[in-house]
Structures are given as structure tokens and as C-alpha cells.
Structure 1
Amino acid sequence: MSQLEWIRTGRKALGLSQGKLGKMVGATQVLVSQWETGKAEPSPEQGAKLTELFGNPAPKVEPAAKPAEKPRKAKNGNGRAVAPKKQKSFEQTLWDTADRLRGSVESSEYKHVVLSLIFLKFISDKFEERRREIIAEGKEAYVDMVEFYTMKNVFYLSEESRWSFIQKNAKQDDIAVKIDTALHTVEKNNKSLRGALPDNYFSRLGIQVSKLAALIDSIDNIDTVADKEEDVVGRVYEYFLGKFAATEGKGGGEFYTPKCVVNLIAEMIEPFRGKIYDPCCGSGGMFVQSVKFVESHQGNKKDVSIYGQELTATTYKLAKMNLAIRGIATNLGDVPADTFFRDQHPDLKADFIMANPPFNLDQWRGADELLDDPRWSGYDVPPTGNANYAWILHMISKLSENGVAGFVLANGSMSTNTRGEGAIRQKMIENDLVDCMIALPGQLFYTTQIPVCLWFITKNKKAQIIEGHSDSNHRDRQGETLFIDARNMGMMIDRTHKELTSDDIAEIARTYHAWRGEAKDGAYEDKPGFCKVATLEEIKANDFVLTPGRYVGAAEIADDGVPFEEKMAELTQTLYRQMDESVKLDTEIRKNLEVLGYGG
């Protein structure tokens, strides 16, 4: 038996996760995973501890080498130093395995293959962990009673639904059928997962058995319950959703809002307690970040209730799996449905709304449909050619009296006067609903190059005490709107995409909170080029346009202490030198043209 087989067999015989084994022998979960795949070896001390645990001699582990000379940098054929290869993260390794499905499966489909298997592995690991707990408590007689699992928010799994069964049969010709059967059984036996899992998906796709087996083996190395603080499976899910969006472009990213944008909305509206709603929830990213926000500020996720709706059936399933994996209880409605025509939460009044509606959605209703809808009451009917203002009015109708909404829209929404949209915006401003407007940098989204902005809407700008993680006083902001121009923020993360940094997010949120009067964020001041508070009269004077650049002005240029006359003299000399150079170049070009027979 090889060393990697010895470690894997011994660990599984004791029912240990990779993380738990690592803690027992002084290693990380990732290192144990590398032992079991032959990418690393235990140290002599770790080998001795493994031998004690497994009860049979470990394959020989060579003693640690003596300190060697400082390694020389590898060189290429030209004698130049070559940088060492960067070690891949386990997420990247898993992605590389999954990416081999390309060609076998449509790119728009294979995310569901990968994420369904990760989901199945996760709920199986939770099931096995709970099963061991029941046995350890001396309640072995109840080990197959469903109630003993559901009481701990664990899904009960029959034998053929467990990951161990799938992994054992990974190389069988009918593995796709077995996976479909497992997913169907899990959904049938667990009410909260109704409508969440793919139906006969793997059988229909006809994936090559060897590729599916390789993917199953890679996923088998994820220890999903080793470290509850680390949220390993959540990390993998988030990584994969982002990678799918990046590699598939528009079609793949429709369900995905960049993490930094979601973080910013959460930090701005601070959803500590109450009902959170997303009318177009995609894969559930807004909800995940809301809960992370609460937990990172030592709040209790049980203090928030989550409501959402999603039109696309496959994305609806993604959201249900994404949220179930993280133990987030959610009401996404009974079925995937159109928010405008089949509202799944007709009586909801939300304390917080977070959304990234489809940009500039055309033909969202027929010309004679929804003309008397109560959501437009007091406003013009949103035009059929663009749903932006339909989304805005829908969200306003869902806000509680003290609620706040933060959402993403295309920049055009801030200034359009097309087909009555300007009249709707004017009425919103006159009703004092617009709290804050933020112009975002370009290149944040995988799905579009359209410039985007954030809107923040509230029904109550009066002075009030907001209950939450720590109560905060909001000053009276009636008749005011804060404008923030963040277009120059962010950093490039690759050739074509930018990301807001944590410092950027903190500065924007701090500015908003200070303006609202929250003492913890200090006193607010207008900052030319970045932020400005405008009154209703100022906005009216700008034709009710909400583009931040109209209000914040240009950034102040720091005085470097050099007198104007001196600067002007230096610039003039530079200009003269460039003019002389221009004459020389013109002469040279004329000569070259004459040589070619084109002289004047």
C-alpha cells in the first residue's frame, strides 16, 4: 500500500475529516489533502503520530534534510532567472479539474454540474458528522431517525444519497444516473430543498465517465466541515460563481454581482436586524453578504429574515443551494417567477432591500399591461422600453416606513428623460426619497461594460434612533441628498477588471454614515471631487439630474509651493523645446517622402 493510500484509508476507517486529522497530527487540512494526493509527505514527527493513530507502520518517511545551500534561481536558455511557479490554491486546482468538462458540456451548463456535486458533498459531510455525534452520545438506536438530524439543521440522507456511495461508484458506467437519483431523493426527503436541485440533469448531459470520475475525486478532497470558521465550501462556491462569471462573460455572469459591490451596499445600509429583500436575487449573493456582514460585526443572523425572488429556474436552484450550504433560511417564493407579473411576496414590507436588477431591460411588459398597477401609484407608468424605473418603483413599494434600499443601475438612470422616466425621477426627488447616489468606477462587472451607479432610497430622513448591533442616531436629513463620485477608486485585478478595495469601501461607507449623523464616523464635510451634499433646490436647478459629477466638482489640486511665474517659465521652455522637435521631425518626414518619389 502506498503512503497516500495508507493515510486516506486510515483516516476514513476512523471517520475523520482531513481537517480533524490535521489538527491531531499538527498539520493543516490543505496539507493532509496534499498527502492524500501525493503532492506532499508528512514530516517524521507527523508520520509517527499517524502510525499511533492508524495502528500499523507508516511507509518510510525520510528524515528531514539538513539545511542546504540557498537554492539558486532556475534559469532559462538565455541564462536569465525564472520566477518559481506559484502554488495553486485548492479552489484553483478544483477549478482546473472542473474546467476539463468544457467541450463535453455547454459552458452555460457545467456550473450546475460542479456546484450540484459540491452541494451533495457538503450535505453528506454534515450528515456523517451528525451521525458520528449520535453514536458518540450513546444513541445508536436513533441513528436512522430523521428527527435526530433535522433538529440540528442537518439533511437526512438515505444510503444511495450519500457522498461515500457516489465516490465508491464514480467509475461505474451508470454514475450519472446514480447522481441524479441521489439529488432527487435528497430533494424529495427535505422540504426546504423543494425545487432547488437539478432533475435528471447528469443523465441528460451524457458526460464522459472518466471526466465525471475525475471531478468527483477532486471534490472528494474538499473537507467541507473541518473548520466552521473558515467556511470552506462557501469559499469554493463563491470562487466558482466568480470564475463562471469571468469565463462565460455576459451569459455566465447574469446571476453574479461582484463581491466588492455587494460588500459596499451591505456596509452602507447595515442590515443588522429585520427583513431583507432582493426582487431579482440571482444566485443569492446579496443575502450571503448580508449574513456575513451581521456575523462580522458580532451580530446574530437569526435577527434577519430573508426574502427573494428569481425568474430563471436554473439560477433559482443555484440560489437555493448557495444559501442552504451556508445554513441561511430563506423564502424565495414557491417557484421561480417574474417579479412584475407574479410577485411572490405581495404583502412584504422590507427593512432593507439590496438588488442588482437586469440593466435596461426591454419589453418587460406589453403596451397594455400593468397600466393600473398600484406600485406606480402617484407616478407615471414606467415605459415598456426600459424596466429601470419599474424596478425602482417596485422596490419603493416594498420598503417599510423606516426602510432603506441600496441597488445597482446603469448610469443612464440618473439623467434619462426618455418616455416619462425623467418625470418619475423628478417626483421621487420631490418626495424626498433619494438619500444617496454613488458613481462607481468602470470595469467592475464581468457582464457589462456599461457604467453603473448605486442608488440609496429611504422613506424617512427625519432624525431617529436606528436599532441594530449598536443603536445609532440619524440626524434630520430632510431635503438633502448626498452625492459621492467614486469613479477614480478601485484597483485593476486583471487586464480588464477592476475591484473596489476594502479601504475604498470603508471610506465610502464612512462618508455616508457621517453624513447621516452617526457619531462613530465623525463629522461630515464636503470634499471637492469626491462628495457633496445637495439640497432639493440645487437638484432642481440641475434639472433633477442625479449624476454625482454635476455636484461634487473637481478635486482640489494641492499647492506645491512653486510660484506661478516660475511654473509658467518652465512650461514655456518645455513647449519651445517640443516645437523645435516638431520642426525637425517635419523636415525628416519631407526628406523621406522625397526619397520615395513623393516630394513636393
Structure 2
Amino acid sequence: MSYGSGKLTPPPVTVGAAEGRIREAIWRGFDRYRGLLDVIEFGDVVLVLLYLRGRPAWQVLVDGDSDVERALRSDLPADGGDAVLLRPLLESVRKAGDMRQMASLVELVDQLGSDHQAHLAQVFSAVLERVGGLTTRKGSGEFHTPRAITELSANLLDPREGDEIFDPCCKAGEFPAAIVDRLTQQGKAIDRLAVAISDYSLRSCALAYLQLRLRGITPQVLPSVTGSLPTGAPESRYDVVVANPPFNLSNWNGGGRFNGRWRYGVPPAHNSNFAWLQYVIASLKAGGRAAVVMPYGAGLSENTHERNIRAAMLDDGVVSAVIALPGQMFAGTDIPVTLWILQHLPAIRSGEVLFVDATELGSIQQRRRTLDAAEIDRIVEAYRDWRKHSLDPVAGFAAAVPIEQVRSEGYRINPRAYIPPINEVPDLRTRAREVGELARQLDRLAQKAAGLDEIIEARLREFSL
């Protein structure tokens, strides 16, 4: 499999009302296939067709050839290895073909029209997000990474032309896709960008592969992290690492002995969180940077192993910033999450950590909370100001905290505990009670003053004054 060839021409990345109309048309079409294809199978087929919609092989399908598998194989590199990777998606394609549903699905996707080809990458992402939300609610166990989180991470990490990118738990490629989108929007070339991906799920790797190929990048697909996570590091090193790993995974080392390279301490066997954090740091080149989604509890864990690892990471300066994100961002869970921004030594701004509390940001869209562009920019601006030594504490939002203070708090990573609060205005009932009490105190003081005045007058009369 090729590695970051960048030989394909990426479509311009734009988002508009057309994207929403196309997405809704596709999901209205799904109603016709209920009972024939489940939501995962329907999603697989539509995503494969969306990928082919922008390729030369599409016209063959429109002309009546319903062999989608052959069309897909004709678009892949000649070595044939990628067809093995796509096996989970091809199974859904074969099922739709066996049920003689392929022609109508091709017709559905063909309705996008040539004027919408510039939107294909974004339509692919939007359909993927909808499928991810539905399959998670059905208990598939695969968590889609929300677009707001991937866009925020891409902005914070500021990828450059020629960077080597790694996502060890790629889901459907949302993180690297956001990085490619950012570079494309900036007018930067992506032909020297190299992307490597891995995951526990072959289906996830297949979707990520198509999503990145649609954007002009052919990623290197590495073996499952089942083998590399217990060792503490992958074989290669990268400029940028992004990850949304499964939280609190037990038996992550396969029940084997701890023979990995753990710079900050051996992680506990019952929880993978600090195995992932160390794995990501070990994946970075000197000066590399990373973004990792973690459950809020990882920063507060009192497990001896986890607390010691967290302390060692903070003391070493590899934790650059921790951002508390709003709840309800994920379709399958309301668990509060944080985004850890990590850096390989030599660290920038070592000796302090930036904490951002974004829990009050965002709005509900399609039953999930998301961040808009202005809110993402606000977080990114705070991070950049901090890196330039120009950030003043923002009440209720952001603060740079010396490592000595974090150490005095037992190395607990709780952004809200370190950020100065906004002065709260008491409600009217509270204010009324306070005013009433002050009035009563004033009456008592006035009565006491009147009594003192009488005493003073009496003493003055005694002195004939």
C-alpha cells in the first residue's frame, strides 16, 4: 500500500446549504430500503458510491453496469492489497447487489449532479457522521469523532506541508481528514503530506481509507493497534499524532506481561487511558505535537499508577494544554471529555499548563452539542496567545497555571478548578434578603446611636456644658 502519495487531485473543500440538502435526500432514500439493508449496510454502500461519484469509473455505473465491486477495484492501486482492506464494505455492496438494489442506489447518488462534485468530500463526511450517530445508538460500539473536535484539533496543531501524520485509532478518518481540509482551505499543497492510520476495526480503516483518498491522500494502513499498543510505541515517529481512543479499555495488553517502553510508568492492566497517552507521546518526533481525546476522569484518577504517570508527564512538560469540552458531543455517550494537547521534548512553555473550560460553549444540533466556528476560534486564539506569552487569564474560560500550583493540587487536571470564576450576580430573592438584613442592622445601629447621644447629652449637662 502506498504512503501519502498525494497523486489524486483533491476536490475543493466547501460547505454550504447544498451539503445539507444532499444529505437529507440520501437519508430519505434510506426509507425505501428498510428491511432490506440495515443502517450500517446502507451507509457502507452509499459511502462507496459517494467515493466513486467523483471517479472515472462512475460513468460505467450510470450507463447500466451494476458491478460496483469491479468499479471500485479498478480505481485502486494495482497491487491489489487495498481490496483486502475494503472487504467489510464490499460485503455490504454484494448484499445490495444480490437484492437487486444497486441500480436504484446508483440513481440516488447520481442525483448529486456534476455541480455538486466540489462538495463530495463534505457530503461523505456528513453521511459518515449520520451513520456513526445511528450505529452508536444501536450499540455497535464504534464511536464517531464529532467534526467540531477534529476541526478544533486541526487548528490547534497547525499542520504544515510535508508533515507526517498518524492516527492510531482512526475511526473513519475524521481527524486526518480535518487536517487535510485545513491545509486545503489554506491553499497549501498536500502532495508531500504523509498519513498513516490504524484501528481495532478493519471497517473503520476501510472507511478512513476511502475518505482520505477522496481528499487526495492515499494513507498507509498499519496493522491493528492490538499488537503495538502493549509495546508502548509504534515503529515510526511522526510530526503530528491525533487520537480518539476507546476510553477505560480493560485488558488492553491482552493479558500479557508489561514489556513495553513506558517512559512515565507502567499503566494499570484494567485501564488503557494512560497507555494511550504514553503511546501517543512515544509516537512523536522531537518537537512533535498531538491531540488526544480523554474522559474527564483521566485527569482526576486517584489510582496510584495513573496518578504517578500523570505527575511524571506534567513534571516533564509534555502536557501543553487541557481543554474541557461540552457534554453531549458524542451520539453514544454523555460522558464529559477533555482534549489533551501534548508535545514532545523540547517542550514549548514548559513549566506551566494552559487550562481551558469550554463546557459552557456550543449549541444543540440534531440532539448533539457542537461548537461553531467562532467558538473554535476563541479556544484556538487563547492557545496561540498562551504560546506567545500574551495570554491574560480569562475569568470562567482560560488560565495558564504554573506546574508548582498543579503539583500542590496533587497533579489533578481539572480545568475549572484552576480558572478564575466569573463573579456571579445573586438572584433577586437573595439580594432582597441581603438588603432587608442591612436595613435591620442600620435600624439597630441608629437606635444604639440615639441612646449614645442621650448619654452624651446627660454627661455634658453634668459638666454644665
TM-score, structure 1 as length reference: 0.64
The alignment partner of 2:33 has SS state of coil
Distance 2:401 2:380 in 1: 18
Going from structure 1 to structure 2, the CA distance change for 1:391 and 1:545 (only over 3 Å counts) comes to: same
Q: Is the 8 A contact 1:529 1:556 kept in 2?
A: no
Residue of structure 1 in register with 2:33 after alignment: 101
Going from structure 1 to structure 2, the CA distance change for 1:266 and 1:339 (only over 3 Å counts) comes to: farther
The alignment partner of 2:226 has SS state of coil
Q: Is the 8 A contact 1:461 1:477 kept in 2?
A: no
Q: Is the 8 A contact 1:362 1:387 kept in 2?
A: yes
Q: Which of 356, 381, 384 is the equivalent residue of 1:484?
A: 356
Distance 1:498 1:301 in 2: 31
Write the letter of the residue equivalent to 1:117: L
Going from structure 1 to structure 2, the CA distance change for 1:95 and 1:190 (only over 3 Å counts) comes to: farther
Residue of structure 1 in register with 2:318 after alignment: 433
Q: Is the 8 A contact 2:233 2:282 kept in 1?
A: no
Distance 2:192 2:69 in 1: 36
Going from structure 1 to structure 2, the CA distance change for 1:572 and 1:192 (only over 3 Å counts) comes to: farther
Q: Which of 362, 370, 373 is the equivalent residue of 2:260?
A: 373
Summarize deviations over 1:417-440 as a string: whole Å, max 9, x none: 225111111111111211101111
Cα displacement (A) at 1:507: 0.5
Residue of structure 2 in register with 1:546 after alignment: 413
Cα displacement (A) at 1:186: 4.2
Distance 1:299 1:283 in 2: 24
Q: Which of 130, 138, 153 is the equivalent residue of 1:243?
A: 130
Which blocks of at least 5 consecutive residues in structure 1 are unaligned? Answer: 1-29, 31-86, 128-161, 463-475, 574-600
Going from structure 1 to structure 2, the CA distance change for 1:419 and 1:101 (only over 3 Å counts) comes to: farther
Residue of structure 1 in register with 2:385 after alignment: 514
Summarize deviations over 1:446-469 as a string: whole Å, max 9, x none: 12211100001113465xxxxxxx
Residue of structure 2 in register with 1:182 after alignment: 71
Counterpart check, 1:568 vs 2:453: no
Write the letter of the residue equivalent to 1:538: Q
Summarize deviations over 1:14-57 as a string: whole Å, max 9, x none: xxxxxxxxxxxxxxxx8xxxxxxxxxxxxxxxxxxxxxxxxxxx
Distance 1:285 1:310 in 2: 13
Q: Is the 8 A contact 2:85 2:202 kept in 1?
A: no
Write the letter of the residue equivalent to 2:213: A
Q: Is the 8 A contact 1:280 1:339 kept in 2?
A: no
The alignment partner of 2:54 has SS state of helix
Distance 1:93 1:439 in 2: 35
Going from structure 1 to structure 2, the CA distance change for 1:305 and 1:184 (only over 3 Å counts) comes to: closer
Distance 1:362 1:182 in 2: 41
Q: Out of 114-123 and 355-364, give the one that drifted further.
A: 114-123
Going from structure 1 to structure 2, the CA distance change for 1:572 and 1:503 (only over 3 Å counts) comes to: farther
Write the letter of the residue equivalent to 1:492: I
Write the letter of the residue equivalent to 2:410: D
Write the letter of the residue equivalent to 1:435: S
Distance 2:216 2:426 in 1: 55
Cα displacement (A) at 1:244: 0.7
Residue of structure 2 in register with 1:326 after alignment: 215
Q: Which has the higher contact order (CA 8 A, sep 6+)?
A: 2
Cα displacement (A) at 1:163: 3.1
Counterpart check, 1:169 vs 2:64: yes
Write the letter of the residue equivalent to 1:545: R
1:8-407 → structure 2 map (5 Å cutoff): 89-123=21-55, 127=56, 162-169=57-64, 175=66, 178-187=67-76, 189=78, 193-198=82-87, 199=90, 201-204=92-95, 208-209=99-100, 211-223=101-113, 226=115, 231-250=118-137, 251=139, 254=142, 256-273=144-161, 274-333=163-222, 335-336=223-224, 338=226, 340=228, 346-369=234-257, 371-374=258-261, 376-377=262-263, 379-407=264-292
Summarize deviations over 1:370-413 as a string: whole Å, max 9, x none: x1212x13x32212211111110101111111111111111111
Going from structure 1 to structure 2, the CA distance change for 1:248 and 1:571 (only over 3 Å counts) comes to: farther
Distance 1:295 1:267 in 2: 13
Number of residue equivalences:
418
Distance 2:26 2:96 in 1: 20
Q: Is the 8 A contact 2:362 2:371 kept in 1?
A: yes
1:407-556 → structure 2 map (5 Å cutoff): 407-418=292-303, 420-460=305-345, 477-494=349-366, 496-517=367-388, 523-556=390-423
Going from structure 1 to structure 2, the CA distance change for 1:570 and 1:193 (only over 3 Å counts) comes to: farther
Distance 1:270 1:260 in 2: 15
TM-score, structure 2 as length reference: 0.81
Q: Is the 8 A contact 1:257 1:285 kept in 2?
A: yes
Identity %: 26
The alignment partner of 2:314 has SS state of helix
Summarize deviations over 1:460-482 as a string: whole Å, max 9, x none: 465xxxxxxxxxxxxx6221101
The alignment partner of 1:283 has SS state of coil
Alignment RMSD:
3.2
Summarize deviations over 1:157-196 as a string: whole Å, max 9, x none: xxxxx334433437xxxx4xx3334334544746584434
Distance 1:284 1:565 in 2: 53
Going from structure 1 to structure 2, the CA distance change for 1:215 and 1:247 (only over 3 Å counts) comes to: same
Summarize deviations over 1:250-303 as a string: whole Å, max 9, x none: 546725211011111111111123211111112111111101111222322234
Cα displacement (A) at 1:91: 2.4
Distance 1:169 1:525 in 2: 63
Cα displacement (A) at 1:113: 1.4
Q: Is the 8 A contact 2:295 2:336 kept in 1?
A: yes
